[in-house]
Amino acid sequence: MSLAIVKYNAGNIRSVLFALQRLGVEALWTDDPHALRAADKVIFPGVGEASSAMQYLRERGLDTVLRGLRQPVLGICLGLQLFCRHSEEGDTPCLGIFDAEVRRFRSPGLKVPHIGWNTLSNLRGPLFEGVQDGNFVYFVHSFYAEMHPDIAAQTDYGVPFSAALQRDNFFAVQFHPEKSGEVGQRILKNFLKL
The whole-angstrom separation of Cα 140 and Cα 155 is 13
CATH number at 89 reads: 3.40.50.880
3-state secondary structure (DSSP) of residue 151? strand
Question: What's the CA gap between 115 and 59, in Å, rounded?
Answer: 31
Contacts of 192 (CB under 8 A, 6+ apart): 1, 3, 23, 25, 41
- For the question of whether the overall pTM of this predicted structure is more than 0.95, the answer is yes
Report the candidate in 160, 87, 91, 73 with the shortest Cα–Cα distance to residue 122: 160
Percent of the chain with pLDDT over 70: 99
Q: For residue 194, which of 47, 57, 71 has the smallest C-alpha distance?
A: 71
Annotated catalytic sites, by residue?
Answer: 77, 176, 178
For 37-71, write each residue's pLDDT tens digit: 999 999 999 888 999 999 999 999 999 999 999 99
Q: Give the per-residue pLDDT at 166.
A: 98
Rounded alpha-carbon distances, angstroms, from residue 135 to 88, 118, 121, 189: 29, 8, 8, 16
Q: What confidence category does residue 83 fall into, taking pLDDT thresholds of 50, 70 and 90?
A: very high
Q: Is residue 13 pLDDT above 90, yes or no?
A: no
Phi, psi of 2 (to 5 degrees): -105, 140
Kindly state the average pLDDT of the residues 9-18. Answer: 83
What is the C-alpha separation between 103 and 137, in angstroms, rounded? 21
112-151 pLDDT, tens digit each: 999 999 999 999 999 999 999 999 999 999 999 999 999 9
What residues contact residue 127 under an 8 Å CB cut-off, 6+ apart?
74, 152, 164, 166, 171, 173, 187, 190, 191
Domain count, the chain: 1
Query: Domain range spanning residue 98?
Result: 3-193
Q: Residue 192 in contact with residue 1, Cβ under 8 Å? A: yes
- pLDDT for residue 161: 98
Torsion of CA 63, 65, 68, 72, to 10 degrees: -100
